[in-house]
Structure 1
């Protein structure tokens, strides 16, 4: 009998990557999109999870539109907080392990050292606050959980910074890119692999996963154009020159101490992940 795994948000960039990876490993994978299971509907969540009776649930479904969340906070909390509660309650009932994918936005970005898993959280905007509320529900309502915070995610599915840069780089000669926000890019292939490693253990808790090293969006863009051999002139600019509805953390580099202490593989450098991704495109 192969392990039954349910993935919420299976049409998202990480969800699709996980469905692909886990299916290739002979797991019995059930990818649920919003059409299959609306996580804000607790009865439906209960019904679907009872029926599939998974041994592991990887909860990727989320309201991730950071700027939109500022103008529709109820929608963000309904999905990220209460939707996560619904999944946690149903997962606990069937005895499934739960992996909840969270975010670097639970930190305010005022730090100068990489954030530890035990660093105090203080999200700036609705998106971060609603994801943190989801973490709290998981901690209080579930007994076998992995909370995996990640940052600056990109991969072959969905929309992301790398794809946007490749598209713009092919169309334009000049771009201005924000240089005063620092973080760590994360390749979905590496994140999915790490989630697979965790869920096969009972080393529950809060984890940070991003590729190692850090950069600004400006440096990230430079690297993308270099690796893709695109000739684009980029000018660094400040966050204040491009006002957005949601505040972004200025510094959200994640420290991987939980991975290290629990003897999981530590992530490779972000530049290596980027090279692999661009070659795969």
Structure 2
């Protein structure tokens, strides 16, 4: 069985190559044809959606997992067409090919499809109302996958991080090693979710008997602010000996840290349906952090 993974160089994509390997032959794609470890892979350019069916026709995968996306949230405000090509048009092209060939498709979406005005965890069936281009383009991708009519699993996730790649955890460790004080937003609340957890749940779902089609929220359990996440990162860095001195983390408001794109203030997703439908028990976000930090301390991590 051939499993095609789009976006093999991203945080989730790299973890998928590991998690899906026991299920079959995993074929990765990136825009450059290169993987982070220097290896070669297939080329897939999401800025040219019409080129993707040629690749699919040649590889004839049994399962397709789309972990590729335009994720530059702020740049998307000025780069609207590119964001929609990668996040809406390309998934639609892939989904239509999968539907025509009866191939199941896994697609990832985001908490940014919601406006962040809630105060209870968002359920899958609640109305979406993106605040910016990135969220709107990701919602467009969801709609395109559903409209194709094929078998699909859409997983919305949030606050993704890993021991590799560019993410909040690695930024905090890098900047925190050079400064005595950091200012971190405290009025945005969500659930830090390891990329490895997303990949492992995906592998589990693909093996689940009576596999369903639909949309699920895939995050760790619990909630915190970016400020709370930063404090937890530094506490764990001290506990593991990664750092002998950590910066003071000052809580600030979103208004004190303006960005081109508005962020949802409330990004907590209700993951109970995922746990029920796929017989899962998801970990607390604090446990996920401990595992990722252990991975970093056990490797030659560098900035």
Give TM-score scaled by structure 2 length.
0.89
Q: CA separation in 2, counterparts of 1:26 and 1:57?
A: 13
Q: Indicate yes or no: 2:198 matched with 1:191.
A: yes
Q: CA deviation at 1:154?
A: 0.3
Q: CA deviation at 1:266?
A: 2.6
Q: Is the 8 A contact 1:38 1:45 kept in 2?
A: yes
Deviates more, 1:213-222 or 1:49-58: 49-58
Aligned equivalent of 2:292? 277
Q: Is the 8 A contact 1:7 1:57 kept in 2?
A: yes
Aligned equivalent of 1:258? 273
Aligned equivalent of 1:4? 2
Q: CA separation in 2, counterparts of 1:225 and 1:260?
A: 30
Aligned equivalent of 1:224? 233
Aligned equivalent of 1:49? 56
Pick one of 107, 110, 115 that aligns with 1:108: 115
Q: CA deviation at 1:200?
A: 2.2
Pick one of 167, 171, 181 that aligns with 1:174: 181
Q: CA separation in 1, counterparts of 2:212 and 2:262?
A: 34
Q: Is the 8 A contact 2:99 2:149 kept in 1?
A: yes
Aligned equivalent of 2:29? 32
Q: CA deviation at 1:53?
A: 1.0
Q: CA separation in 1, counterparts of 2:214 and 2:273?
A: 8
Q: CA deviation at 1:78?
A: 1.1
Q: Is the 8 A contact 2:61 2:103 kept in 1?
A: yes
Q: CA deviation at 1:172?
A: 1.0
Deviation above 2 Å: which 4+ runs of structure 1? 39-44
Pick one of 48, 60, 66 that aligns with 2:67: 60
Q: CA separation in 1, counterparts of 2:79 and 2:155?
A: 25
Q: CA separation in 1, counterparts of 2:185 and 2:215?
A: 30
SS in 2 for 1:133: helix
Q: CA deviation at 1:42?
A: 4.0
Pick one of 15, 18, 21 that aligns with 2:19: 21
Alignment length (residue pairs): 278
Pick one of 68, 81, 85 that aligns with 1:78: 85
Give TM-score scaled by structure 1 length.
0.96
Gaps in structure 2 of 5+ consecutive residues: 33-42, 297-303
- Deviations 1:13-63 (CA, angstroms, capped at 9, x unpaired): 11111012222x152000011130113434421111111111111101110
Q: CA separation in 1, counterparts of 2:272 and 2:28?
A: 30
Deviates more, 1:139-148 or 1:241-250: 139-148
Pick one of 187, 193, 215 that aligns with 2:224: 215
- Deviations 1:90-128 (CA, angstroms, capped at 9, x unpaired): 222222100110000000000000000111111100000
Gaps in structure 1 of 5+ consecutive residues: none
Q: CA separation in 1, counterparts of 2:274 and 2:20?
A: 21
SS in 2 for 1:15: helix
Q: CA separation in 1, counterparts of 2:232 and 2:169?
A: 10
Q: Is the 8 A contact 1:181 1:217 kept in 2?
A: yes
